[in-house]
């Protein structure tokens, strides 16, 4: 009787050990994304976080502009630290920032020392409509960025103006008057 009990206990321990060892040896393969997939993921994540911020602001009775001003203020210390800031340098930095979007385009339409005029498109705004999340519209997204760039330009001593015409966002960066 004791032998049978000991045998059953040993078999039970082996059975439990076998079951747990099988569960622990489950192989989970992690994805290996291509550069294109990484780029799409980064674009989507950025747009999602902007949408989330705008949606949160709206849930608190605030506007996309309120969220844009707040994020602009958060970024001001970074932008103030950029050496030799000029209107042209400011536009170059916006372009660098937006090139994370594979469809981003920017064209300079006019430039002189104190003013740069241009246009841009493809900075994630079409994804907002496609995602359709949080009650945020493409117009909300564009207004958010307008206020963000106005706020940042103001903190480095410039003025930023923007107008949406069709697919293009036209902008002017100039010295404050």
Separation of alpha carbons 59 and 11, rounded Å: 60
Residue in this structure with the two tokens 């760039």, named with its chain if needed? 149
User: What was the pLDDT predicted at 17?
Assistant: 61
With cut-offs at 50, 70 and 90, classify the pLDDT of residue 7: low
- Rounded to two decimals, the pTM is 0.82
User: What was the pLDDT predicted at 26?
Assistant: 87
Residues paired with 121 in a beta bridge: 105
CB atoms within 10 A of CB 134: 16
- Helix 35-59 to helix 138-155 angle (10° resolution) is 90
Sorted by where each starts, the structural domains of the chain and their CATH numbers stand as 35-175 (3.30.1380)
More confident residue, 3 or 43: 43
Number of H helices, E strands in the chain: 6, 4
| Per-residue pLDDT tens digits for 55-69 | 999 999 999 999 999
| Per-residue pLDDT tens digits for 9-57 | 565 555 556 655 555 778 999 999 999 999 999 999 999 999 999 999 9
Token digits for 119? 């246009």
Separation of alpha carbons 97 and 131, rounded Å: 22
Q: How much of the chain, in percent, has pLDDT values that exceed 90?
A: 81
Contacts of residue 37, Cβ cutoff 8 Å, sequence gap at least 6:
none
């Amino acid at each position: 009787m004791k032998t049978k009990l000991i045998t059953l206990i040993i078999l039970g321990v082996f059975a439990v050990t076998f079951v747990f060892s099988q569960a622990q040896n489950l192989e989970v393969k992690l994805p290996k994304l291509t550069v294109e997939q990484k780029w799409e993921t980064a674009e989507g994540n950025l747009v999602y976080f902007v949408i989330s911020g705008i949606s949160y602001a709206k849930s608190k009775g605030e506007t996309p502009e309120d969220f844009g001003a707040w994020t602009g203020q958060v970024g001001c210390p970074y932008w103030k630290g950029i050496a030799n800031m000029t209107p042209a340098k400011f536009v170059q930095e916006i372009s660098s920032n937006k090139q994370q979007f594979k469809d981003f385009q920017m064209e300079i339409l006019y430039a002189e020392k104190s003013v740069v005029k241009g246009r841009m498109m493809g900075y994630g705004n079409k994804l907002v409509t496609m995602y359709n999340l949080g009650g945020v519209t493409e117009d909300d997204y564009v207004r958010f960025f307008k206020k963000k760039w106005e706020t940042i330009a103001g903190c480095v001593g410039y003025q930023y103006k923007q107008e949406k015409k069709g697919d293009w966002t036209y902008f002017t960066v100039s010295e404050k008057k």
